[in-house]
Amino acid sequence: MPDDNAREGGQPPEGPSLLERNRALEEWLRWQLGQVQKQFRDLEEQERAALRWKIQQKTPTSPALLHRGDCGLYEARIGFIDWEYAVVAAAMPDIEPCEACRPDIGLGQD
């Protein structure tokens, strides 16, 4: 049975060897694994953010707003508060709940 990797006349095949192709495949699979692991980290962060709250500072034209941690209307990477502080903030008259994410529902304040 002839060797599929050999050309007529016993010359080596053109192109990358089987070893080189497998190394390239390994490199690509490592890259793919890194992409999946990054996706896991991003999804875990989203889950953690959904269990936290954040307060958007008062401005001259709008009151302070309480948001769920995953609310897209106020992007904050720091300054998250836990459930107890969020309950206190929701009860404060000068802090209003965001109408989009409705943090008061998650706090049992609905």
What does the pLDDT profile of the chain (110 residues) look like in tens digits? 455 555 566 666 689 999 999 999 999 999 999 999 999 999 998 887 778 899 999 999 999 999 998 888 888 777 889 889 999 999 999 999 999 999 988 777 55
User: Quick one: pLDDT at residue 8?
Assistant: 62
pLDDT of residue 3: 54
pLDDT, residue 21, reads: 95
63, 80, 62, 82: which is closest to 71 by C-alpha?
Answer: 80
Give the pLDDT of residue 5.
Answer: 56
Model pLDDT, residue 40: 95
Partnered with residue 95 across adjacent β-strands are: 64
Q: Which of 57, 98, 73 is nearest to 107 (CA)?
A: 98
